[in-house]
Structures are given as C-alpha cells and as structure tokens.
Structure 1
Amino acid sequence: MTLPKVVDDLVAAQNTFDSVAYANCFSETAVVSDEGKTHKGRKEIEHWIADANERYKAVMKPVSFEKNETESLLKAEVSGTFPGSPILMTFHFEIADELIQSLKTTV
C-alpha cells in the first residue's frame, strides 16, 4: 500500500510519539476533530496529540488507504493503553499542498 508522503509522515510521527513532527504534517489553519472535540491550528494540534500520546500511547498500523475527490481515507489498527485496544479506526483527511487541512477520526 502506498500512502501520500504526508500521511506516511503522520503515521511515523504517531508511532514514535513525536508530537512536533505530527503537528508539522498539518497546515497552520488545519482542523482536527477527535473524541468529540475540535482542535484548530498547528499549535493546538501539537498540544492535543502530545496529551493523547501521554494518555494512550497509541500506535497505528495502516490497513487500507483510498482517495476520492474530496478526501482520503486511511483505515488503521490502533493499539495503546485505552479500553478496547486494539481498534480499527478510519482517518478522514483533506490534503492540499502536501499538508493535512483537516482530519476527522471515526471508529
């Protein structure tokens, strides 16, 4: 499976718990929706993922990737220190100019 570079970089950053590298995959005005909360902008995204990394120690194993006209969908097995681990999650990306503009996660 071939992933766009920015998605590959995001997975690598997640799996090494590198919140700065993770945030750098996003545009300055990006929006992330996860766990019923919205995080706007690269700095807020960096704080969110640093906190999530501390709490959950989640790692991702990509299972499938597809792209349509408006979004890219990554299905990944996510495991960590959270109830029900591992789970299959879908990451809904909007990517432009080789940066993530928005990310929404669903189970």
Structure 2
Amino acid sequence: MQLPNIISDLVKTQNEFNSAAYADCFAEDAQVSDEGKTHNGKAEIEKWIDKSNKENKATMEPVDYDEKEDILSAKIAGSFPGSPLILKFHFKIADGKIQALKVTG
C-alpha cells in the first residue's frame, strides 16, 4: 500500500514513540480530534501524543488507505483496554503537513 510521505512519517514516528517527530508531521495550527477531545497546535499535539505514548505504548500497523478520502485504517496495539483495535485516521493534508486529523473507531 502506497501512503503519502507525511502519513508514512507519522506511522514511523508513532512506532518509535518519538513525540517531537510525530508533532513535526503537523502544521503549526493543526488540529487533532481523538477520544472526544480536540488538541490545537503543534505544542498541544506533542503534549497529547507524549502522554498517550507513555500511558498506552500504542503502535500503528496500516491495513488500508483510501486515497480519495485520505483515510488510513490501522491496527493499533498497546497497553490499553480492548487492544488491538482497528481505528480510522481521517487526514487533511496541505503543503506536505497534516492540517487536521480525526481519529474514529
């Protein structure tokens, strides 16, 4: 499966638990919606993913990608209840950076 470079980078940094590099995949004013919360801007996104990495140790394994809609389906496995899960990552990408990400079940 061929993923856009920025999504490949996001998966790689998630699997390395590299919160700073993960946040660098996003635009300065990007927005992430996950588990009923919205995180605004790179600094807030980095705090959110760092906390998640420490608590859940979640890895991503891409299973499908809808190029038309920019939706990645990935198996997420970690130290959280219900692991592993298949989640959908809805991206808005512009200028080589993620502008918005919404995670759904």
User: 1:27 is matched with which residue?
Assistant: 27
User: 2:102 is matched with which residue?
Assistant: 104
How many angstroms does 1:67 deviate by?
2.1
Consecutive unaligned residues in structure 1, runs of 5 or more: none
Of 67, 71, 74 in structure 2, the residue corresponding to residue 73 of structure 1 is 71
- SS of the equivalent of 1:89 reads strand
TM-score relative to the length of structure 1: 0.96
Aligned residues: 105
User: 2:2 is matched with which residue?
Assistant: 2
How many angstroms does 1:25 deviate by?
0.2
Residue identity matched to 1:89? L
Consecutive unaligned residues in structure 2, runs of 5 or more: none
Question: C-alpha separation between the residues in 1 aligned to 2:67 and 2:90?
Answer: 10
Residue identity matched to 1:22? Y
After superposition, the CA RMSD in angstroms is 0.6
Report runs of 4+ in structure 1 exceeding 4 Å deviation: none
Identity of aligned residues (%): 54
